[in-house]
């Protein structure tokens, strides 16, 4: 299993939607609860966030490799969670 990092902003509607999808998917499939996830609120940790190459949130990294950036659909979140399980 791989570590998932999610860069987000508290006020971002796309981030809120992504987190809603994650919660829905965890209810549908409890195996997603086992994924180690680190949430980085970029406005609270700007120095750390600046060390990564992205422009939009939410941005998903698996093992420090960017997987997705910006607005996201539920099926895309599922693909990311499935990649993190491998």
**What local confidence, expressed as pLDDT, does residue 1 receive?**
85
**What local confidence, expressed as pLDDT, does residue 40 receive?**
97
In this structure, the strands spanning 65-69 and 37-41 are unpaired
C-alpha pair distances (Å), 59 with each of 28, 29, 30, 55: 23, 22, 23, 8
List the chain residues with pLDDT less than 50: none
Domains in the chain: ranges and CATH? 4-73+81-85 (3.40.30.10)
């Amino acid at each position: 299993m791989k570590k998932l990092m999610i860069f987000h902003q508290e006020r971002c509607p796309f981030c809120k939607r992504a987190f809603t999808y994650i919660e829905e998917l965890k209810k549908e499939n409890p195996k997603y609860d086992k994924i180690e996830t680190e949430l980085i609120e970029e406005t609270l940790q700007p120095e750390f966030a600046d060390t990564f190459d992205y422009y939009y949130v939410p941005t998903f990294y698996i093992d420090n490799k960017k997987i997705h950036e910006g607005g996201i659909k539920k099926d895309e979140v599922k693909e990311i969670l499935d990649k993190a399980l491998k």
